[in-house]
Amino acid sequence: MGNQVKPFGVLLRQRRLKSGYSLRKFAQLADVSPTYLSQVEQGKVERPPTAERVRKMAELLDQNPDQWIALAGRMPEDLRDIIKSEPEAMPALLRAAKGLSAEELRKFTKRMENKRDEGGKK
Amino acid sequence: MGNQVKPFGVLLRQRRLKSGYSLRKFAQLADVSPTYLSQVEQGKVERPPTAERVRKMAELLDQNPDQWIALAGRMPEDLRDIIKSEPEAMPALLRAAKGLSAEELRKFTKRMENKRDEGGKK
DNA sequence: AGCATTGTATAGTAAACAGTGCACATCATA
DNA sequence: TATGATGTGCACTGTTTACTATACAATGCT
């Protein structure tokens, strides 16, 4: 509900400027060409960079890498494996989680963690 | 934990034979070349076919498409969007769900569904 | 024997992906 | 005016992806 998904490129540019990096400087740190970085920030590329590169950028700007990867429309590699490990139950879980608020999701997350910590019996 | 993840190709071949299709016949129905289908069944291809094609194959063989897509190491398209809608909370939720059994996952799924049905207050 | 039908190995390919290089316009500063 | 730094448009490129074409061996049927 009301989750305004700001384009990845816009967010990237905002954060980069806030950190005081020029386009060329940051491109160098992130190990991409200035041209490409410019295109990404403008949303001129079909799809944002790879998950690995997005992770690097997020780290350079002190942002949450997972969040940025998801915002870029990529999938953190481990999530794919998690889903694969329970190919029926995990998709169902995600679809059920779809409408819930972030707070509710966090609550469920906590409960799941407790479930695991309380003893890997069996 | 003892989740024996049977290779997708092996499963595909088993199901295809059970349904009485020859490789060429099924390849034609699924709209791929016999060569390619053979490779897929043998696990000779780096990665299984696209989600769309796997879905088609699953339907032809009366299997659960989502399950097959996940088994093939692909991501049902809608899941990506769901994760993107809550780019912090959803990855966290999945990671917490990681070790849980299928039954426990189903329980949480039910609870989430109830939460939603009981009224989107606030 | 002849022919069809089965699956398979090898090689190749069109399109998409994830970028790069270079020239260029704009603005600031000296 | 010159020099430097900023970001950007356009063309291009190496690599990966998701397959296909061709030829072939093995088995079955008549």
| Domain boundaries of chain A, sorted by first residue | 8-76, 86-121
pLDDT higher than threshold 60 for residue B120: no
| Burial of residue B31, with CB atoms counted within 10 A of its CB: 0-12 exposed, 13-18 middle, 19 or more buried | exposed
Tell me the pLDDT tens digit for each residue of A53-89: 999 999 999 999 999 999 998 988 889 889 988 989 9
Question: What radius of gyration, in Å, describes the C-alpha atoms of chain B?
Answer: 18
Tell me which of A20-24, A45-49, A114-118 is least confident. A114-118
Average pLDDT of the residues of chain B: 91
Mean pLDDT (whole number) for B47-59: 96
Mean pLDDT (whole number) for B26-39: 98
Q: How far apart are CA A70 and CA A58, in angstroms?
A: 12
Give, in Å, how far the C1' of D8 lies from the CA of A16: 17
pLDDT higher than threshold 50 for residue B67: yes
Give a three-class secondary structure readout of chain A.
CCCCCCCHHHHHHHHHHHCCCCHHHHHHHHCCCHHHHHHHHHCCCCCCCCHHHHHHHHHHCCCCHHHHHHHCCCCCHHHHHHHHHCCCHHHHHHHHHCCCCHHHHHHHHHHHHHHHHCCCCC
CB A34, CB A23: distance < 8 Å? yes
Mean pLDDT (whole number) for B25-53: 97
Give, in Å, how far the C1' of D12 lies from the CA of A92: 44
Specify the pLDDT at position B4: 55
Q: Which CATH superfamily is domain A8-76 in?
A: lambda repressor-like DNA-binding domains (1.10.260.40)
Give, in Å, how far the C1' of D24 lies from the CA of B34: 14
Please, which residues have CB within 8 angstroms of residue A24's CB and are 6 or more apart in sequence? A34
- State how far the alpha carbon of B80 is from the alpha carbons of A2, A36, B8, B85, B86, in Å: 18, 24, 21, 9, 10
pLDDT higher than threshold 70 for residue A5: no
- Please report the sign of the dihedral spanned by the C-alpha atoms of residue B82, residue B7, residue A112, residue A77: negative
Helix (H) or strand (E) holding B108: helix B102-117
CA distance B30 to chain A (A): 22
Average pLDDT of the residues of chain A: 91
- % of chain B beyond a pLDDT of 90: 81
**Least CB-CB distance to A87: which of B71, B89, B113?**
B71
Q: Is B30 helix (H, G, I), strand (E, B) or coil?
A: helix
Listed residue (A28, A73, A81) closest to A50, CA to CA: A73
Specify the pLDDT at position B75: 87
Question: Which pTM value belongs to this model?
Answer: 0.86
Q: How far apart are CA B111 and CA B98, in angstroms?
A: 18
Mean pLDDT (whole number) for A8-20: 97
Length of chain B: 122
Cβ of B97 within 8 Å of Cβ of A112? The answer is yes
Q: Is B47 helix (H, G, I), strand (E, B) or coil?
A: coil
- % of chain A beyond a pLDDT of 90: 79
Mean pLDDT (whole number) for B40-53: 96
pLDDT higher than threshold 90 for residue A116: no
Tell me which of A69-83, A88-102, B10-24 is least confident. A69-83
Tell me the pLDDT tens digit for each residue of B81-118: 899 899 999 999 999 999 899 999 999 999 999 998 87
Where b means 16+ CB within 10 Å and e means fewer, A7-44 reads ebbebbbebbeeeebeeeebbeebebeeeebbebbeee
- Where does the pLDDT of residue A3 fall: very low under 50, low under 70, confident under 90, or very high at 90 and above? very low
Q: How far apart are CA A85 and CA B8, in angstroms?
A: 13
Residues in chain A with CB shorter than 8 Å from the CB of B114 are: none
Specify the pLDDT at position A77: 80
Specify the pLDDT at position B3: 44
